[in-house]
């Protein structure tokens, strides 16, 4: 039998890769990690961690600016020192990286190679000068920002998430091309830190894949805070000016418009990191979207699995981790039945302020599958006492269910939306109807009211429509 250096080698040390090697080690396997740059990947260096640190700083700035609404006066400066804010963001990155340094993995017994790997054959990769052999591989090399071929884009200096968090200070103004999750989060935060923001978005509103009415509510709120949003607009040309950049946009009814700013942030999509891996030598097929995998996360190469952004399906850290928990056991254990990914109960959130969280399908998608038998329950944050005490009354919970109350979709715009969503997601995942939430006692006053109330409304509807109760009521009359 062939002898290999390792049971499992993981290529790429981001959210997916880190989870995969840790799990491989826990399962008693000899594992190694090959990373071409720095352990931590996008999440630590240019994604989740710095963006959330920046968002928190922006929230603090916003709270201080609006202190009077809580009856407070402060002598403290309301000025934002953006140099210090950016230093703070990088200090948070450094703190997270403390737990991700190569030594941390080596101490646990995981070999780390900092090199660009390239397949020699399905069981060997060349990493620098060394050739490493392994029975199984997991590819988790992530993705990079897609920069669209806008005329003149290569003649200007622009930002993406890869260099945004390395800025020493923040500019006075910025155009963001793309009102998706990254563009919207950064717009919401940077605007509060004093950057004049214009979003150029080709759809009719930002976050076009989210529940329309909630995304529109969020956009209204951001516009109210000073963000300019150019919807139905395509960026067609970019040029340098003395002070920064000028962007030409095309909008069906308004024609060509110009917008100027000191900086440009491009946030329009992602492409998989597959260059240099020599996937052909390993028999691993891919498209421009990413490596092709089935539900077991196996690629077209029999002993090779792929997880995370590089598969181009759902580009979230939690999905990279979820897939690692599927791919690793499938790869290294003789399971009688392979584990398979299930996307029915997939959550995500955009961490604007307020947050917009989602699990399951939108109302439109539900109508396509279930017709008009679905039920839709809405509840505004303005009806939640805790939101009143916290002055966070803007927002809404929207729950889409079957006629029998089985949850199809959860959409929450509001304070703590992402955390709040998980209670409903748990009920959905366990296959219980919405009234189970109404049965549960929620502590008062909490944001839990925002989901308990619509659940109680469903429970009321259920009792009202109960044929036995209807007959008894009729007889009594």
Ligand X SMILES: Cc1cc2nc3c(=O)[nH]c(=O)nc-3n(C[C@H](O)[C@H](O)[C@H](O)COP(=O)(O)OP(=O)(O)OC[C@H]3O[C@@H](n4cnc5c(N)ncnc54)[C@H](O)[C@@H]3O)c2cc1C
Residues contributing to the site for ligand X (CB under 6 A): 11-17, 34-37, 41-43, 47-48, 51, 116-117, 140-142, 161, 182, 273, 276-277, 308-310, 315-318, 320, 351
Given a contact cutoff of 8 angstroms between Cβ atoms, the answer to whether 305 and 331 are in contact is yes
Measured in whole angstroms, how far is the alpha carbon of residue 430 from the centre of its chain? 23
Q: Which is nearer to ligand X, 142 or 395 (CB)?
A: 142
At its nearest, how many Å lie between ligand X and the CB of residue 330? 17
Q: Which is nearer to ligand X, 48 or 235 (CB)?
A: 48
At its nearest, how many Å lie between ligand X and the CB of residue 98? 16
* CA 7, 36, 269, 236 torsion-angle sign: negative
Nearest to 360 by CA among 268, 265, 426: 426
Q: Omega into 343 within 30° of 0, i.e. cis?
A: no
Q: Which is nearer to ligand X, 35 or 363 (CB)?
A: 35
Q: Which is nearer to ligand X, 164 or 219 (CB)?
A: 164
Measured in whole angstroms, how far is the alpha carbon of residue 304 from the centre of its chain? 26
At its nearest, how many Å lie between ligand X and the CB of residue 293? 12
Terminus-to-terminus CA distance in the chain, angstroms? 83
How far apart, in whole angstroms, are the C-alpha atoms of residue 246 and residue 163? 20
Query: Residue 70: which region, alpha, beta or left (left: phi > 0; alpha: psi -120 to 50)?
Result: alpha
Q: Which is nearer to ligand X, 183 or 433 (CB)?
A: 183
Tokens (6 digits) for 315: 């580009």
Given a contact cutoff of 8 angstroms between Cβ atoms, the answer to whether 422 and 347 are in contact is yes
At its nearest, how many Å lie between ligand X and the CB of residue 463? 39
Q: Which is nearer to ligand X, 181 or 405 (CB)?
A: 181
Vertex 272: Cα angle to 266 and 274 (nearest 5)? 135
At its nearest, how many Å lie between ligand X and the CB of residue 468? 46
Q: Which is nearer to ligand X, 9 or 219 (CB)?
A: 9
At its nearest, how many Å lie between ligand X and the CB of residue 252? 30
Q: Which is nearer to ligand X, 140 or 401 (CB)?
A: 140
At its nearest, how many Å lie between ligand X and the CB of residue 85? 16
By CB atoms closer than 10 A (0-12, 13-18, 19+), residue 10 is: buried
> Cβ-closest residue to ligand X?
14
Nearest to 38 by CA among 88, 84, 104, 87: 104
At its nearest, how many Å lie between ligand X and the CB of residue 303? 18
In sequence order, the 6+-apart residues with CB closer than 8 A to the CB of 69 are 391
Q: Omega into 445 within 30° of 0, i.e. cis?
A: yes
How far apart, in whole angstroms, are the C-alpha atoms of residue 314 and residue 321? 12
Q: Which is nearer to ligand X, 331 or 384 (CB)?
A: 331
Measured in whole angstroms, how far is the alpha carbon of residue 443 from the centre of its chain? 29
At its nearest, how many Å lie between ligand X and the CB of residue 399? 23
């Amino acid at each position: 039998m062939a002898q290999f250096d390792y049971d499992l080698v993981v290529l790429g040390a981001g959210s997916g890769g880190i989870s995969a090697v840790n799990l491989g080690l826990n399962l008693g396997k000899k594992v190694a990690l090959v990373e071409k740059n720095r352990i931590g990947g996008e999440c630590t260096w240019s994604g989740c961690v710095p963006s959330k640190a920046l968002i928190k700083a922006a929230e603090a700035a916003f709270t201080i600016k609006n202190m009077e609404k809580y009856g407070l006066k402060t002598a403290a400066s309301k000025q934002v020192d953006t140099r210090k804010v950016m230093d703070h963001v990088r200090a948070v990155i450094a703190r997270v990286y403390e737990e991700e340094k190569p030594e941390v993995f080596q101490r646990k017994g995981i070999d780390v190679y900092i090199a660009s790997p390239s397949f020699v054959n399905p069981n060997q990769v060349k990493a620098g000068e060394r050739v490493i052999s392994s029975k199984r591989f997991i590819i988790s090399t992530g993705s990079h920002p897609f920069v669209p071929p806008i005329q003149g884009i290569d003649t200007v200096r622009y930002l993406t998430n890869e260099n945004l968090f390395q800025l020493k200070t923040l500019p006075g103004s910025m155009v963001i091309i793309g009102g998706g999750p990254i563009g919207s989060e950064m717009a919401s935060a940077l605007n509060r830190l004093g950057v004049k923001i214009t979003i150029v978005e080709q759809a009719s509103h930002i976050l076009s894949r989210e529940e329309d009415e909630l995304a529109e509510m969020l956009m209204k709120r951001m516009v109210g805070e000073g963000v300019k949003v150019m919807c139905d607009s395509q960026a067609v040309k970019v040029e340098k000016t003395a002070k920064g950049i000028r962007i030409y946009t095309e909008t069906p009814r308004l024609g060509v418009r110009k917008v100027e700013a000191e900086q440009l942030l491009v946030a329009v999509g992602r492409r998989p990191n597959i260059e240099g891996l020599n996937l052909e030598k390993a028999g691993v097929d891919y498209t421009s979207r990413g490596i092709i995998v089935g539900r077991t996360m196996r690629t077209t190469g029999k002993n090779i699995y792929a997880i995370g952004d590089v598969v181009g399906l759902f580009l979230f850290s939690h999905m990279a981790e979820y897939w690692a928990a599927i791919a690793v056991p499938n790869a290294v254990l003789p399971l009688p039945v392979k584990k398979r990914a299930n996307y029915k109960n997939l959550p995500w959130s955009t961490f604007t302020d307020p947050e917009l969280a989602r699990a399951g399908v939108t109302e439109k998608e539900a109508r396509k599958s279930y017709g008009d038998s679905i039920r839709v329950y809405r509840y505004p944050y303005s009806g939640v006492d805790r939101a009143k005490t916290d002055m966070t009354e803007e927002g809404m919970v929207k729950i889409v269910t079957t006629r029998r109350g089985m949850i199809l979709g959860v959409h929450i715009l509001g304070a703590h939306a992402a955390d709040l969503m998980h209670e409903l997601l748990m009920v959905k995942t366990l296959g219980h109807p919405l009234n189970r939430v109404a049965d549960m006692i929620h502590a008062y006053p909490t944001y839990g009211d925002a989901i308990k109330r619509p659940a109680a409304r469903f429970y009321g509807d259920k009792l009202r429509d109960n044929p036995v109760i209807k007959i008894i009521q009729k007889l009594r009359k």
